């Protein structure tokens, strides 16, 4: 779809995984822009605190305690949005989890739980949201990853789930377009983002995990999500570093595969694991947007902003070019 949706201050936005990380960053940003937000996650205490925070700042919010791996829980999220706000305009499938370990060492139970959250959570959210949005119009926004386009060693099943999300999202978009449904479907593909994902992950390693560089601030993803809620795009890669990595993978896949040992080493800290079980099977310590990445965190991505705002970026670059030309002329 090429047309814009409602402005944010007239939207109701549902966000799964809203108790931490990208989901929480998006909820806060949306509420500041005037949107009414429906938050969903497994952690009841964290959700209640976040709702109170938004309302204390003058926003409107409600929350639903839900496990997105259960379709009935996801349906309850939609029902609450209709009950509280009369419906919704954008549905963001953000809930996700990871695990660190070699594929052959991870239990079937843990692999299954990850897929239930990451993949089936997106499927249930999309299929519950679609009938309502078919009638009223709006956006479905799914959180993939640069791992939708490449594999990350030591996070093999996470990568597989993100590949599956890309396939499902493309198929859903195609079917909705065939029906001329007034629904946009966007896949957001973040690079490494400084969220609590490593701390929440199930960890089979003998060291504390971390994110491979370059790492970006969660607000950069929230900005992309809310842009897509108003101005639909097919997919958005957040972070120029991630775009470079997926481009290299496509250009030289064999060489990229052989760099797996380097990528594996970039995901290990020096200290022993803090919480090996993480929040794969139970709610974790939520309420935090950012993690504790030990390296540099980039607050914005010039690449992503340029893709989202090409006319503005073009005008700025043209202005820079004219200024440079004028300077050269004066010096001459």
Q: How far is Cα 51 from Cα 307, in angstroms, rounded to an integer?
A: 32
Q: How far is Cα 305 from Cα 220, in angstroms, rounded to an integer?
A: 9
What is the maximum span of the chain, computed from C-alpha positions, in angstroms?
72
Locate 322 and state its tokens: 């004219």
Cα–chain center distance at 307: 17
The tally of CA atoms less than 13 A away on the side-chain side of residue 48 is 3
Locate 118 and state its tokens: 């990451």
Please give the helix or strand (H or E) that residue 227 lies within, else none.
Answer: helix 218-230
Q: How far is Cα 115 from Cα 140, in angstroms, rounded to an integer?
A: 20
- According to DSSP, the residues that pair with 192 across neighbouring strands are 215
Which listed residue (100, 124, 158, 216) is catalytic? Answer: 158
> Is residue 100 flagged as an active site residue?
no
User: 187 by DSSP, 3-state: which?
Assistant: strand
Helix and strand tally (H, E) in the chain?
Answer: 12, 12
Residue 250 CB coordination number (10 Å): 11
- According to DSSP, the residues that pair with 184 across neighbouring strands are 139
The tally of CA atoms less than 13 A away on the side-chain side of residue 226 is 28
Residues contacting residue 28 through CB under 8 Å, at least 6 positions apart: 54, 222, 289
Active-site residue list = 158
């Amino acid at each position: 779809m090429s047309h814009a949706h409602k402005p944010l201050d007239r939207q109701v936005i549902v966000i799964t995984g809203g108790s931490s990380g990208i989901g929480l960053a998006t909820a806060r940003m949306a509420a500041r822009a005037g949107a009414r937000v429906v938050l969903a996650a497994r952690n009841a205490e964290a959700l209640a605190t976040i709702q109170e925070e938004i309302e204390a700042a003058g926003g409107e919010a409600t929350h639903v305690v839900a496990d997105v791996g259960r379709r009935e829980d996801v349906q309850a999220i939609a029902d609450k949005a209709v009950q509280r706000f009369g419906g919704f305009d954008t549905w963001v499938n953000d809930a996700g989890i990871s695990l660190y370990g070699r594929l052959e060492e991870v239990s079937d139970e843990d692999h299954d739980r990850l897929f239930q959250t990451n993949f089936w959570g997106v499927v249930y959210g999309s299929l519950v949201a679609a009938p309502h949005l078919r009638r009223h119009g709006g956006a479905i926004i799914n959180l993939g990853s640069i791992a939708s386009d490449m594999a990350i060693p030591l996070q093999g099943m996470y990568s597989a789930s993100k590949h599956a999300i890309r396939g499902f999202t493309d198929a859903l978009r195609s079917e909705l377009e065939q029906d001329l449904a007034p629904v946009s479907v966007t896949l957001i593909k973040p690079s490494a983002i400084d969220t609590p994902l490593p701390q929440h992950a199930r960890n089979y390693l003998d060291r504390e995990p971390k994110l491979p560089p370059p790492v970006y601030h969660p607000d950069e993803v929230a900005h992309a999500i809310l842009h897509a809620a108003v101005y639909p795009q097919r997919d958005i890669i957040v972070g120029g570093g991630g775009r470079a990595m997926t481009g290299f993978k496509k250009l030289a896949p064999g060489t990229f595969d052989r760099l797996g040992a380097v990528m594996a080493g970039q995901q290990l800290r020096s200290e022993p694991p803090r919480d090996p079980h993480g929040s794969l099977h139970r709610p974790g310590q939520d309420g935090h947007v950012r993690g504790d990445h030990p390296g540099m965190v980039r607050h914005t991505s010039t690449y992503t902003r340029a893709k989202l705002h090409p006319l503005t970026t073009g005008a700025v670059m043209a202005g820079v070019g004219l200024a440079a030309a004028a300077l050269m002329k004066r010096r001459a």
